[in-house]
Structure 1
Amino acid sequence: MRPRDRATGGGVTRVVGRVIGKQPIGTAFVTPYVVFLAAVFAYPLGFAVYMSFHDYFFAAPGAIVDRPWVGFANYATVLSDPAVRRSFANVGIFLLINVPLTVVLSLLLAWSLNAAIRWRGFFRVSYYVPYVTASVAVVGVWLFLFNSDGLVNSVLGPLAPDPSWLVNSKLAMPTVAIYVTWKQLGFFILLYLAALQNVSKDLYEAASMDGAGRWKSFRNVTVPGVRPATTLVVLLATVTGANLFTEPYLLTGGGGPDGASASPVLIMYQRGIEQGNPDVGSAIGVLLVIGVLILALVQRRLLDRES
């Protein structure tokens, strides 16, 4: 082999080595997930950004149409739309209720279920069942409970709100937030249960020798011990909450009453699919992604500073 060929072959080998890394087996296992992320997340996001800067509309397959560049016109349309602004305010209310409730309830329940109690396996399964149950089936139960003549109003009697929970402009979104908290609680309980296994029992014994009761042990040992899990729970609850769609769509008939429970994703669906304006819908989606990234970054910084 000539020196030039050897140099070329060596260069290719170095490039291939940089791509697959020092652990080619690990790279082989990771590659399918990277392809999945690129196909399901990266490409749609990039295409959404492209649509948001063009006068984009649906056309017949194979048709060649002109979709001119419009710059920030779609974003101006979105930001001037009262329904869009209200949907972002709605999801802000949702997150203010859902995220703290999720963190507090899932941690307390995981702490309780981690103790040596009777029927512990039964309770763990019971809390996880709503998370894996189809939303349509669970929504039917909640509609039965919170309708105007539902079980909750029957129990409350004269204390029941009028109009009822899901048709009340002030209570619709809080009711949706409580529903989502209850349905997803099992998943976050599992995260905390896994984190609790890494908290050393020696710390609890030391706290007990110092005279700390269960509450002080929980506050001074458990809470700091699961702080990384708390960061993960906060971020996941924020991201999933910001992508709220199914619950208001099913519970309140598409964001009612009068948009009081509409989320940005629901408005994006209405504008982009139902009304045939995918460019406007894409602009809403891009703004939502930017907002979630900023919120997640702020939360991460605050939680890291506390730790």
Structure 2
Amino acid sequence: MSTRTGVLGRILGKQPIGSAFVTPYVVFIAAVFAYPLGFAVYMSFHDYFFTAPGAVVDRPFVGFDNYVTVLSDPAVRRAFGNVGIFLLINVPLTVVLSLLLAYALNGAIRWRGFFRVSYYVPYVSASVAVVGVWLFLFNSNGLVNSVLGPLAPDPSWLVNSKLAMPTVAIYVTWKQLGFFILLYLAALQNVSKDLYEAAAMDGAGRIKSFWNVTVPGVRPATTLVVLLATVTGANLFTEPYLLTGGGGPDGASASPVLVMYQRGIEQGNPDIGSAIGVLLVIGVLILALIERRFVSRED
């Protein structure tokens, strides 16, 4: 009996009730994330294809052939380059704007509640509805081009090979800004007011106080914002699919997830799509580790 109790104790830990509450989430993670990822890795190393339900077919092991095919595909390489451009625009812009706006909304300003809700509304709005507004604003005869007049780009924003991805990056930044403002607002509550008072006594103005007190005080939140913006940006799919008609013009706004969908689902090559997905996961993990070490190096 004691041996059995000891084994259960090692499995459940010192807090068995806590382990019981965590178990459903662990099962959820295993079923929704771990198993699909493991199956994707399996498919990427085999000649895998869709068959009728219940059909038994041979799916031979092909080693790294699928990865060679993926890396030699110009469309895939361009998609990874596109998402790199997207992240270079989206991540810094998200960090700077969300921190500045959260700092402003944390102060005693008029209609503070209204502005907080206003910034959060785009994040919870349906993507299709919001995309419709942006298509109205940025199409060839849209409001933005009408305001710019002769300064408007030709071809227009979303059909311009150089401007399509930056336009998508700005759209995503604007739509998700409310969520990251919320994270920074929560982090600002933990910055002691005594630090601001000490900085003011030392003669620091608002800018110096912001740079020397606020920025270090919310550094853990900045690490989280950078990581979340990177992960969500690397999984970009809906925005180029809707805004540019599936990654146009000529793949200038295609993302790896969009190309993975096209190769794996539309063209019926799930092994190729899985190889793209595995490479994307590896790339995001490496990038996230680098960013975490760079952003939180002073913690």
Tell me if 1:257 matches 2:253.
no
Q: Which of 12, 16, 22 does residue 8 from structure 2 map onto? A: 16
Tell me if 1:151 matches 2:143.
yes
Alignment gaps of 5+ in structure 1 = 1-8
Q: Which of 105, 109, 114 does residue 106 from structure 2 map onto? A: 114
Aligned equivalent of 1:243: 235
Aligned equivalent of 1:129: 121
Name the CA distance, whole Å, in 2 between partners of 1:96 and 1:90.
10
Query: Once the 2 structures are TM-superposed, how far is the Cα of residue 183 of structure 1 from its aligned partner?
Result: 0.3
Q: Which of 70, 73, 76 does residue 78 from structure 1 map onto? A: 70
Q: Which of 69, 78, 83 does residue 61 from structure 2 map onto? A: 69
Tell me if 1:177 matches 2:149.
no
Bigger shift: residues 293-302 or 15-24:
15-24
**Contact 2:168–2:243 (CA under 8 A) maintained in structure 1:** yes
What is the RMSD of the two structures over their aligned residues, measured on CA atoms? 0.7
Q: Which of 148, 160, 171 does residue 152 from structure 2 map onto? A: 160
Name the CA distance, whole Å, in 2 between partners of 1:178 and 1:304.
26
| Secondary structure at 2:296 match in 1 | helix
Name the CA distance, whole Å, in 2 between partners of 1:133 and 1:27.
36
**Contact 2:94–2:173 (CA under 8 A) maintained in structure 1:** yes
Aligned positions, number: 299
What one-letter code is carried by the residue in structure 1 that aligns with 2:275?
A: A
Query: Once the 2 structures are TM-superposed, how far is the Cα of residue 305 of structure 1 from its aligned partner?
Result: 2.1
Bigger shift: residues 210-219 or 165-174:
210-219
**Contact 2:165–2:252 (CA under 8 A) maintained in structure 1:** yes
Structure whose CA Rg is larger: 1
Alignment gaps of 5+ in structure 2 = none
Aligned equivalent of 2:22: 30
Per-residue deviation, residues 206-231 of structure 1 (Å, max 9, x unmatched): 11111111111101100000000000
Query: Once the 2 structures are TM-superposed, how far is the Cα of residue 300 of structure 1 from its aligned partner?
Result: 1.0
Aligned equivalent of 1:5: none
Instruction: Write out the 4+ residue segments of structure 1 that deviate beyond 3 Å after TM superposition.
Output: none
| TM-score normalised by the chain length of structure 2 | 0.99
Name the CA distance, whole Å, in 1 between partners of 2:248 and 2:206.
44
Name the CA distance, whole Å, in 2 between partners of 1:11 and 1:279.
47
Identity of aligned residues (%): 89
Query: Once the 2 structures are TM-superposed, how far is the Cα of residue 302 of structure 1 from its aligned partner?
Result: 1.2
Aligned equivalent of 1:199: 191
| Secondary structure at 1:44 match in 2 | helix
Name the CA distance, whole Å, in 1 between partners of 2:17 and 2:55.
44
Q: Which of 278, 289, 292 does residue 286 from structure 1 map onto? A: 278
Aligned equivalent of 1:3: none
Name the CA distance, whole Å, in 2 between partners of 1:16 and 1:180.
48
Name the CA distance, whole Å, in 1 between partners of 2:243 and 2:179.
22
**Contact 2:83–2:256 (CA under 8 A) maintained in structure 1:** yes
Name the CA distance, whole Å, in 2 between partners of 1:301 and 1:209.
33
| TM-score normalised by the chain length of structure 1 | 0.96
